[in-house]
């Protein structure tokens, strides 16, 4: 399954269940999407929770001993804190999927009909909302739509 779409469905389910926070596996693109959601007041905040990594010493030869991270440690997570009081319920959905990628030029970036909605676009300058991408004349992959 698509990890970004999985994060979106977890956020939607947490909103429906009136949860205050949820945790999702870490990735840089998820963190960038969460930063956009935070800046536009859809979520309260987020933070990265590092996993437990233990150091293991490998020594076969006395001259060649090195310290490496153990693969048995817990992976890093992102904790998302929802703002139930100030932000209304929002629907977020994936537009460009692994089976069907959706790209748009700057002039063809879709506009959301909802006054509070927006589109998230992956451009050469990073993830931007649709309005900023149009202003900067940047096209790219349409990642998500928020209604």
Residue extents of the structural domains in the chain:
1-54+68-88, 95-147
The fold of 95-147 is Dna Ligase; domain 1 (3.30.1490)
**How confident is the model over 18-28, as a mean pLDDT?**
95
pLDDT score recorded for residue 89: 83
Token reading at 85: 């009081």
CA 105 to chain centre: 22
Three-state secondary structure string covering 115-140: CCCEEEEEECCEEEEHHHHHHCCCCE
**Reported CATH class of domain 1-54+68-88:** alpha beta
Query: How far apart, in whole angstroms, are the C-alpha atoms of residue 51 and residue 44?
Result: 23
- Is 75 a residue whose pLDDT tops 60? yes
Q: 58 pairs with which residues across the strands?
A: 66
Query: Are the C-beta atoms of residues 77 and 41 closer than 8 Å to each other?
Result: no
Query: How far apart, in whole angstroms, are the C-alpha atoms of residue 30 and residue 8?
Result: 10
Which of the pair, 64 or 14, is modelled with greater confidence? 14
Query: How far apart, in whole angstroms, are the C-alpha atoms of residue 19 and residue 89?
Result: 12
Is the pTM for the entire model greater than 0.85?
no
């Amino acid at each position: 399954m698509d990890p970004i779409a999985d994060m979106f469905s977890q956020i939607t389910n947490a909103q429906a269940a009136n949860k205050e926070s949820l945790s999702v596996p870490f990735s840089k693109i998820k963190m960038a999407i969460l930063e956009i959601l935070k800046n536009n007041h859809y979520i309260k905040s987020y933070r990265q929770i590092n996993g437990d990594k233990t150091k293991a010493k490998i020594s076969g030869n006395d001259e060649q001993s090195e310290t490496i991270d153990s693969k048995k440690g817990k992976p890093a997570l992102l904790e998302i804190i929802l703002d139930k009081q100030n932000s209304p319920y929002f629907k977020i959905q994936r537009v460009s999927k692994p089976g069907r990628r959706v790209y748009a030029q700057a002039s063809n970036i879709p506009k959301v009909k909802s006054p509070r909605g927006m589109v998230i676009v992956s451009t050469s300058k990073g993830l931007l909302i649709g309005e900023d991408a149009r202003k900067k004349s940047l096209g790219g992959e349409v990642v998500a739509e928020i209604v």
